[in-house]
Amino acid sequence: RAGGLNQTMTYAFAAPDDQDRLMMPAEDWQEAVELINPMNSEQSVLRRSIIPGLLRSVAYNQSHGVANVHLYEIGTVFFASEGRKQPKERQVIAGVLAGSWSEAAWNQPQVELDFFDGKGLLENLIRELCIQKARFKVLSPEQAPWLQPGRAAELVVGSKHLGWLGEVHPLACEAFGAAAPVVAFELDLKSVISVAEAARLFKDVPQYPAV
């Protein structure tokens, strides 16, 4: 929230074709958990990513005249597994940015949010959690077809994959009724916590005043 995002909560129920709409490869989603008695066909499985729900929130806001949308959610995603009675659950933190940080003013033009705004948000999170040796690794269009080519990256610490960041592909935005560009990220919460450090290194008070 300190980064300027508003916390939201989206439905844990999802449409079975969210994977195709988002253009995310099947191997990244695994098997869906189907509901026995769904409320409707658009909520017949448990979500495997928070991003589709957040894109629907962006579309809803845009259709109601709210162009600047900054949202994040910490929630659970679900996956079915052959031979298991209970689904696998994973905690993730995801966010979306659309529009600008603020409205235009006489002394400040309206600047459209892009990949680097999302990168800055994650860099602030990395700093606050004292995560060491984190880096952004470029994702190719084959690795992340749901993101804009050249505007997609994964966040890694050593060999540990924490999540991804990028501008959602215009065709994926269109499939959810959202106007591009939309910056999105999704991180595995357990992996992020595992590399975070609770203790901060003490920095000596500067001897001389700032100039």
- Average pLDDT of span 104-130: 90
44: β partners: none
- Please name which of 105, 74, 100, 110 lies closest in space to residue 179, comparing C-alpha atoms: 100
Strand ranges, E, within the chain: 6-7, 13-14, 45-46, 69-79, 88-98, 134-138, 147-157, 160-168, 182-188
User: What pLDDT is stored for residue 29 in this prediction?
Assistant: 67
Of the candidate ranges 46-55, 97-106, 173-182, the one whose mean pLDDT is the lowest: 97-106
Q: Could you tell me if 69 and 57 are in contact, meaning their C-beta atoms sit under 8 angstroms apart?
A: yes
DSSP 3-state assignment of 69? strand
pTM of the model: 0.89
Inform me whether the pLDDT recorded for 198 exceeds 90: no
Q: pLDDT tens for residues 121-173?
A: 999 999 999 998 999 999 999 999 999 999 999 999 998 999 999 999 999 99
- In angstroms and rounded to an integer, the radius of gyration of the C-alpha atoms of the chain is 19
Share of the chain above pLDDT 70, in %: 97
Rounded Cα gap, residues 70 and 117, in angstroms = 11
Residue 6's Cα: distance from chain center in Å?
A: 13
Q: Which residue is listed with tokens 């603020």?
A: 102
Q: How far apart are CA 69 and CA 20, in angstroms?
A: 24
Cβ(88)–Cβ(78) below 8 Å: yes
| C-alpha torsion sign, points 23, 24, 30, 34 | negative
Alpha carbons 25 and 27: distance in angstroms, whole number: 6
Return the structure tokens found at 164.
């991804």
C-alpha 150/C-alpha 44 separation (Å) is: 34
- Burial-class residue 173 by CB neighbours within 10 Å (0-12, 13-18, 19+): buried
Task: Please give the single-letter amino acid code of residue 95.
Answer: G
Q: What pLDDT is attached to residue 2?
A: 66
SS3 assignment, position 162: strand
pLDDT band at 82 (very low <50, low <70, confident <90, very high): confident
